Structure formats: structure tokens, C-alpha cells
Amino acid sequence: MGAGPNGGDGQVMSIAPERVSHSEQVSRGGVSDLRTSERYLRAAVTDLIERNFRDPDFSVEVVARHLHVSRRHLYRVLAGSPTSLAEMIADRRLEWARRLLTGPGNLKLEAVAHASGFASTATMRNRFRAKYGLTPDEFRRAAMAADAEAS
């Protein structure tokens, strides 16, 4: 297997979380330790997304596995967030795609989708339109027009 999108061998880059069960947290220090653990988990999720969003195989399941928690626990900890974990990953991919669309080189949509971690150009196009109200091509043309006007 060749080098993955993160420069490694396809392995997800992560930080090493401490494996402590809910019952151990409560028995050792109660709610305060649990809150600390939840803050740590949120920070670890954010870090994992930032380092791995370009990998099309990166998903909620991968995050849960790397943090040694169940998907259910992960969803419970992130319940107060305005977006779901899957949306967080997709949003980070869309931000990167926007950046690539307005950057130098005029990359083809297929290359933008691949570099942003989308499994296909169609998936990127559909998510992009749903979030921004424009297709990636329309967005690029509007950005180019705005740049030309500003010059």
C-alpha cells in the first residue's frame, strides 16, 4: 500500500487518548473528572479532524476507533455541538475545497474533491451546493469575477 493522503501508510494520525471507563472516572473523582475527560475528547476529535479530513476513508467510525470509545459515547459527548461529527468532517472538507477553488492553479473539480477528502466529485458538488447555494464551478466563477472587479 502506498503513502496515504497524510504522508503515512494510510494510518490515521492521532493523539494517544487515555483509556478510562465512565465508571472509573466517576469512582476516581466524580463529575469533574468526567467533564475533563469530555473536554479532552472534544479537543481530540477536533485535532483528529484537522489532521485527517483529507482522507476519504476518515469517518465517525474511524474517530471512535482511534479514541477507543463507542460511537454512542462520542455522540453523547458531542451532543451540545451545533453540528454532528459527520457534519464537522464534511464542513472541514468543504472549507478546504473552497480554498482550493479560489487558489492558484485552477484545479479540476475531480482534483479538488480528491484533495479535500471527498469520495467523489458528485458528493463534493452536492454538499457544496447544499451548504453554499452554488455549485463549485459557480462559486469559482463568482470568486474570479469578484477578483477581476477588485483589480
Is 119 in contact with 58 (CB distance < 8 Å)? no
CATH 1.10.10.60 boundaries in the chain? 87-150
Distance in angstroms (rounded) separating the CA atoms of residues 35 and 60: 21
Q: What is the pLDDT of residues 112-128, one digit of tens each?
A: 999 999 999 999 999 99
What residues have CB less than 8 Å from 114, skipping those under 6 apart? 56
Angle between helix 85-102 and helix 60-67 axes, rounded to 10 deg: 120
Q: Per-residue confidence at 109, pLDDT binned at 50, 70, 90?
A: very high
Check: CB of residue 55 under 8 Å from CB of residue 88: no
Q: Which CATH architecture best describes the domain 87-150?
A: Orthogonal Bundle (1.10)
d(CA 36, CA 142): 45
Give the SS3 label for residue 37: helix
pTM, 2 dp: 0.76
Give residue-wise pLDDT tens across range 37-96: 888 999 999 999 999 999 999 999 999 999 999 999 999 999 988 999 999 999 999 999
Nearest to 118 by CA among 58, 30, 73, 60: 58
